Amino acid sequence: MVVQIALILAVVVQFIAFGITISLITKTRFNIAWISISVGFLLMALRRVMELIATFSSQAEQSTSHVSSWIAVVISIAMLLAAVYIRKIFLLLDHLQKLREKNETRLLSAVISTEEKERKHFAKELHDGLGPVLSAAKMALSAMDKKELGKFNSQIVTKTEHSINNAIVTTREISNHLNPQVLERYGIEKAINTFLKNIISKDSPEFVLKSNMGELRFNHHFEVIIYRIACELINNTLKYANAKKAVLTIAATADVVHFQYEDDGIGFDQENTEWKGMGLTNIKSRVKSLNGTIDINSQPLHGVAVDIKFPQDKTQILTTQP
């Protein structure tokens, strides 16, 4: 009696499962794997019905044993088909995920490339447009005879010359920041050293650059991204960290370019959303555009450690400088 009750419950459950799978076939667009699973549930339910019938009669048990065995074979085949097609579905989903990531990488790379082109264009306009105008104004003022202007007007001209000199220097700095010529001519190591030389003062923390690249050159897009990331992290240290020392290490190997940055400043709480405003989101986007990986570790009062790896096939080593 207990066996019969168990079989009845099994039949009911399997028919319910069959009903649910059948109702979802249209939503799966008649996927073969789902149809196979539905058939499997139906056959399992039928097999339990036959087993239930067999419990009432030994003669019925003999007549249904062969049919039950063949049903078991069909169930196995249906489940095998379902497993094969489900595997194909997961492989397809994995392929789609890789395509999506690849397209995201391409999109980020295109956005960053466009941004750098606009920077370069704007820098050229400043250098070739505003720069000569300011220089001409400076020359015109310098040509004036200050003795004939009187003391008051002479002071105004001197202050104006000073302001124009500041404007020329500022224009040059902005142009160089938008499109660093040192990077284009001499590479990453020289460009970062030049950037540090221009921004640090006696009150700045100690910055140490370690690199094994020497005169090794990469394609311009990669060099610009490394340079922008380094500048962003250095500026963060100057603005927020209150650090005494920061170390930047760039190491090129046969497989990867390894970028590490550490400072001993006040750090930040990574659970706090305010840290995302420190340019780290832009850094992550730049890393992702080269299919790299980034790991940021920081805790309050324990500084910041940034570890970035770029696969070598994405960096495209060009040559060493002559």
pLDDT tens string 232-281: 999 999 988 899 999 999 998 888 899 999 999 998 887 765 555 557 88
Q: For the chain, what is the total number of helices (H) and then of strands (E)?
A: 10, 7
Q: Cα 316 vs. chain centroid, distance in angstroms?
A: 19
Cβ–Cβ under 8 Å, residues 48 and 10: yes
Residues 6+ positions from 322 with CB-CB distance below 8 Å:
none
pLDDT tens for 90-139 read: 788 888 888 887 787 777 777 777 777 787 777 677 767 777 777 788 77
What is the rounded (10 degree) CA torsion for 30, 35, 36, 40?
A: 170
pLDDT value of residue 312? 76
Cβ–Cβ under 8 Å, residues 250 and 213: yes
What pTM did the predictor assign? Answer: 0.62
pLDDT tens for 204-225 read: 899 999 998 877 888 888 888 9
Query: What is the pLDDT confidence band of residue 322, given thresholds at 50, 70 and 90?
Result: very low
Q: Please give the single-letter amino acid code of residue 264.
A: D
Nearest to 249 by CA among 235, 221, 230, 266: 230
Q: What is the mean pLDDT of residues 5-24?
A: 68
Distance CA 161, CA 163 (A): 5
